[in-house]
Structure 1
């Protein structure tokens, strides 16, 4: 197959842990032809969505893991699959890319995850579709409602709706002397909507990333355990990743959600679960492939490429 991956510049990817690199290596080992694209390489011309795609060769050496060829203008519908793996932020340019990919899809391109599903699923707000699995949650830009929510619950997490890697996340408690400035900063003086969630003490045992691949649940989670003195388990914030089998509650959450998201066009999803509660649904570029594989021997990238091959058969 000819597989096009929309990525951040390959030189910026950390090959020893990046999930996109794991996918590419698995696909390359099976003999599939690989191509790399940046968002800027995708254009619309004469009613056709074209990618200036560079042939990509991958190697096992993490220091020199890729080699790029010369870009060739190729209509996206000529690839067997187009895999959207651009990292957030989900900004205006990301939004425009989903529109271009949706046009390409209308011309026969197979795009994973489906572009309209990427637009519809804000990674924070999407949990509202599954309230049976969440803690008390508030979404607002108004300081009054945030203060009332904190007064009710006493200990809450505040976070922007467009963040990643733990950026901009605050834990605040009733009586916190910094509450006003935190709310003002996060909401940008009530001009930006944020999310508040009741604090989940089980974060000390890890923020679990559970992967769903075309409706199939990976049987291991990556528990991201916060560093000493930290509230956030994100690996980008210094958390430590520990792979572990799914608990009974993890399986209940994952097996309930997986078929719903698959039918909506979400091929690869990363659920975030703290304790027994769903906190986020990651759809842009879920990670954890390599850590799970290295610690358990379970080939997550193999399951991903298996599913991609089935879809494109």
Structure 2
């Protein structure tokens, strides 16, 4: 479904899209207009951009099958660190991707060209990421209608463990607890319980693969969650302590609605003098992404072999925050335009 939606959106933006998949899937994708035509793995090695829209457990094998290639490669898997390491070990031009959009419905028949409109789309950056490659993938993501956000692969996996993967485990655990307490308990479940456990109906095979791929980060999130539950258990008879916990939870929940703020629509460039050293591009882009500042465009302006300027195009409403963040992190920054 994700791959088909990317194909539909990319074709709408003017790309020629070829597909590699099982014959019946390609027949349906061609019929729906998600691809111009079927292709082969050998042919796509010469593509401008290769999108690996496969189940997470298959991505590493696809990276191996693609090698060697000069094509720029990205993926859509919801765990990033292991995949990024695999791509870098094989010296691929790789920018890992994860669109924060989807559906409970699988398969190309459920693809939608507007699936990514307004959605956050994580793109990984490391000390090996080429700025031009990042810029190209970010531009493609914008053509899909999504908002590219730079992130370190390890941080991405911790975020997904807490925000997505842990809730799936919690849903499974809550359903088991209720069933263990009474075989008929679920027949009495109300809206609150159903809301909390809705993701328990997700595809078991898909989610077992996702959780296994993100096991290190998920283990860390589980440890935090177990500690929080133990703390609540020790406070259960302390009404004031429990009330304070719920007050803090309500404040955190209320803040969810204020995370996405309206932008001004006017753009400015922020020039950042940097040394030509590995990792500096990832440091800057990750700093922006982790603080909710979207990079609309970027390029590198070279002055000599030792120094350069990384120029970010930002919404003018973000320029002040960006400059302050950069200065606190030891970077000089000049707002232009």
Higher helix share: 2
Greater RCO (Cα-Cα under 8 Å, separation 6 or more): 1
Structure number with greater Rg is 2
TM-score, length-normalised on structure 1?
0.28
Higher strand share: 1
TM-score, length-normalised on structure 2?
0.27
